[in-house]
Homo-oligomer: A and B are copies of this chain.
């Protein structure tokens, strides 16, 4: 492996480890458990799971891997707080979307070479990227891994 490939492999390991941890935790919960709050008055586990799914779905266009699969998740899980929307995607749909979105990302990751990760991500213009070369796909990967860890820490507080 080249040095570039080593850097990337460590980061992809981190992503995979966090996805596996989240997958084991969320997928192992019953529909009823997913409707519980992580702590009194705080977000429900379903909200966290939907929020992570929507965030990962939005990585697809950011990383140049095609359009989003579930853009309608944003109203329920990103732009509004939990327990404010009358209708949100069902537990079954979140389960399905989580698998599908992360599966699509893994496929996309496999098609990228080490240097591809250093090209600009989808939310930065060519002009801005000339000035700010760290706004690349690799930054999206690390940022979203951190975001996942952040919410995993919260989900770990749920009543057991």
Contact = CB atoms under 8 A, between A and B. Distances in A.
Interface of A: 1, 3-4, 6-11, 13-14, 18, 38-40, 42, 114-115, 117-118, 133-134, 136, 138-139, 142-143, 145-147, 149-154, 156-157
Contacts of A39: 38-40, 42, 157
A142 B4 contact: no
The A interface is mostly helix, strand or loop, or mixed, namely helix
8 contacts: A7-B8, A38-B157, A39-B39, A39-B42, A142-B142, A146-B149, A149-B150, A149-B153
A134 to B, nearest CB: 5
A134 B6 contact: yes
